[in-house]
Chains A and B, each alone.
Chain A
Amino acid sequence: MKIIVVISFLVVLGLFFFATQVPITLTDDEVAKAVSETSSELPVDEEVLERAVRLSVEKLEKGQSTRLKYLAAAYFVIWLVFILYLLRLGQQQRELDKRLSQLEQTSDDSPSTPDEE
């Protein structure tokens, strides 16, 4: 039970991190290439354009990083509550099984009443 819960949690977590890899992060080469392509089409200073693009990309990345943190926190909390509840259920079930077997054992060990004899 515990293993299934932990594996499910890891799978869900893995799936979550895999799925949230939104490709906003741009490399320096990609930015330089985009700037050079745009500046050849538009009559603007390449240096100014590159700075503007870099600032925009940084802003976008920062915004996305913040949003993904909120998203991850919410999903983490949701699954954590379920996992903790399932673990508690498992623990209660084990305790109950133990008490039941103890009771059965005590019943078997106890001396029989005169009527039964």
Chain B
Amino acid sequence: MGSLSTKIVAIITAILIFVSLYLIFGYARVEGTMLEVQKIFYYHVSAALTVFVAFGVNCVFSIKYLIQRKSNDDLLAVAAAELGLIFCTIALLSGPIWARYAWNTWWNWEPRLTSTLILWLMYVGYFILRSALEEDKRGIYSAVLGIIAYLDVPIVYYAVDIWQGGLHPDRGTKWNLEATMRHTWMVALLAFIMLFILLLIVRYRMKKTQARYEILRQKHLGEAL
């Protein structure tokens, strides 16, 4: 992707973020039960859904890497996993603030929270594994772990249905919102997905430059010896 396309993606993302902020505070109706605190929903849920997209990209490119063994697929998978972890961190940090007001507790070991924490820990493990392995094994082992870790995504998504009695609302709740709230959430979700795409492009390019640097360095060291 050329730098012009990246600039266009960056501009669209910036506009969407500002529009989403305006919609959250200036357009969306204040919810009746939680009042202003409910406005955390727009970015919290958007971050959580972007996590699924990011780890989905990681899973797809991990499979592709295992089949074709192209280093670019591995780099893209790592970049997506890193961003997934960032968005997951955001969901895990903003959630407890909301929970403190809504449930009167910072944390609760209910199904969705627990499975999300497990997901986060698995991808932390993904990076620990990568840093611990030799370069030739790094791609293969981390791709396998990436695919296994992705199995937790449907568990997180369907946690409310699988284990009844959780504190999170039903999956369908977000689609049955009042019109202004639904529109706002859709824009916020789109803004986060665009932000993910933008950061993925930036991170992938950096990873590629880093890989090129390593090749040049090895070559240089070989010549020096």
Contact = CB atoms under 8 A, between A and B. Distances in A.
Interface string A1-45: 000000010001001100110100000000000000000000000
A110 B224 contact: yes
Interface residues of B, number: 39
A67 B217 contact: no
A100 B224 CA distance: 17
B115 interface: no
Given A73-B97, A110-B223, A99 B18 contact: no
Nearest to A75: B43
A81 interface: yes
A56 interface: no
A78 B213 contact: no
B121 interface: no
A93 to B, nearest CB: 6
Contact of B98 (A15, A70, A103, A107): A70
Contact of A71 (B21, B37, B217): B37
A78 B40 CA distance: 10
Interface in A46-102: 63-64, 66-68, 70-71, 73-75, 77-78, 81-82, 85, 89, 92-93, 96, 99-100
B90 A19 contact: no
B102 to A, nearest CB: 9
A86 B119 CA distance: 23
Contact of B94 (A67, A77, A100): A77
Contact of A89 (B25, B36, B47, B202): B202
Nearest to A86: B199
The dominant DSSP class at the A interface is helix
Interface in B80-120: 86, 89-90, 93-94, 97-98, 100-101
A67 B37 contact: yes
A81 B89 contact: yes
Contacts of B22: 15, 19
A96 B213 contact: yes
Given A78-B43, A106-B220, A99 B213 contact: yes
Interface in B60-74: none
B96 to A, nearest CB: 9
Contacts of A110: 223-224
Nearest to B195: A82
A70 B101 contact: yes
A77 B213 contact: no
Interface of A: 8, 12, 15-16, 19-20, 22, 63-64, 66-68, 70-71, 73-75, 77-78, 81-82, 85, 89, 92-93, 96, 99-100, 103, 106-107, 110, 113
Given A20-B36, A67-B37, 15 more contacts: A19-B22, A19-B25, A67-B101, A71-B36, A71-B39, A73-B97, A74-B40, A74-B97, A77-B93, A78-B43, A85-B199, A89-B206, A96-B210, A110-B223, A113-B223
